[in-house]
Structures are given as structure tokens and as C-alpha cells.
Amino acid sequence: FGYKEILLGIMEDDVIGVGGSGKVRRVHLNRRKDRQYQTVALKELRRKRNQAGEELLDKLFDAEVNTLGLMRHPNIITLFCCITGIWTSLLVYEDMQNGSLDQWLHKSRGLLDWPSRVGIATDTARGLSYMHDQAIIHRDVKSSNILLDHNFKAKIGDFGLARVLAKPGESE
């Protein structure tokens, strides 16, 4: 898919979450002859009208892109691409159909059985272990940043506060 397909797929009613830095949308991309349609999650970071807010947004965007660009792991959300413009920066991720863990724990989305709970905890631990092996610290681990796919496989998301630490013998 390309950026035009993503931008043409944005609809007003596709918002699935709102945070301090912007909206998250579920975007259905157009069907192609060679494959079925694809659904992606689109994090839309709106520019602030003041310099301090804009600098903070740029830092969050850079941290997310740079950190996720270093990682490939089954328990870390996949960042497909990013699109930047004058007023908005867009991050395009794989779609996590079952939302975030906090929706299941705190917002009565349903009950999780014990095997699902253990699986989510194990997946999260594997993702964090991988990150720490790469000298990456998330700094914002919470249930709203644990995302669940269609099989309730957990993936860690939201790397706006993450930091890459220098490994022993490297300069920062």
C-alpha cells in the first residue's frame, strides 16, 4: 500500500481511540486485484499551535519511529511506515483487532479466561525481555499499551517515551 491509499481510506467515523497526542483510527485500505483489503491502525499526531507542544510532539514521533525501526519481534507492534506533513504526522501500524488490554480489564469489553490471561502476560514478558536485550526501555508499560490481535496474542505498543540506552563500551 502507499500513502495515497492510506489517506483516501481515512473516514470520520473510523476513530478507535483518542490520546493526549492525537487519535488512533482503523483504516480499511482499498481492495486490489492481487489480494483482499488490508486493515491498518493509523496513529494521527496533530501539530500543536505553540512551539513547546510542537517540539514535544516531534520528540514523541521521533522516539516511536526510531525505536520501532530497530525492532522486529512477534510481541512488539509492527510499524509499517510513517507519513509526515505540515499539520500532521501519521504512523501506520498493524491492526490489533481486540484493542488494548485495558479495554478488557476496565471497560467491560468482556471477560478473559485464565489461559488467555497467562498468554497475555507471557507475551508481554517476552516482548519486554527482547526490548531489554536490545537496550531499549519502554518507560510507559501499562494495560492501554498492551495490544491484542484477533487471537489475543499480546504486543507492546506506544513507544513515544521509549529510550535506547548505550550498551557497555558504546557512546550515547
The half-sphere exposure of 168 on its side-chain side, counting CA atoms within 13 A, is 1
Min mean pLDDT across 23-27, 114-118, 165-169 is at 165-169
- At residue 80, the 3 state secondary structure works out as strand
Catalytic residue numbers, as ranges: 140
Per-residue model confidence (pLDDT) at position 79 = 94
Helices (H), 45-154: 51-69, 101-106, 114-133
Per-residue model confidence (pLDDT) at position 47 = 67
Of 145, 134, 1, nearest to 66 by C-alpha is 134
The half-sphere exposure of 80 on its side-chain side, counting CA atoms within 13 A, is 15
Of 41, 1, 2, nearest to 22 by C-alpha is 41
Min mean pLDDT across 110-114, 133-137, 168-172 is at 168-172
Confidence category of residue 140, pLDDT binned at 50, 70, 90: very high
Average model confidence (pLDDT) across the chain: 86
Confidence category of residue 167, pLDDT binned at 50, 70, 90: low
Of 159, 158, 151, 127, nearest to 24 by C-alpha is 158
Q: What is the Cα–Cα distance from 146 to 135, expressed in whole angstroms?
A: 20
Min mean pLDDT across 6-10, 100-104, 124-128 is at 6-10
- pLDDT of 170 strictly over 80: no
pLDDT digits (tens, 9 = 90+) for 57-109: 788 888 889 889 889 999 999 999 998 887 788 999 999 999 999 999 987 77
Strands 136-137, 163-164: pairing is antiparallel
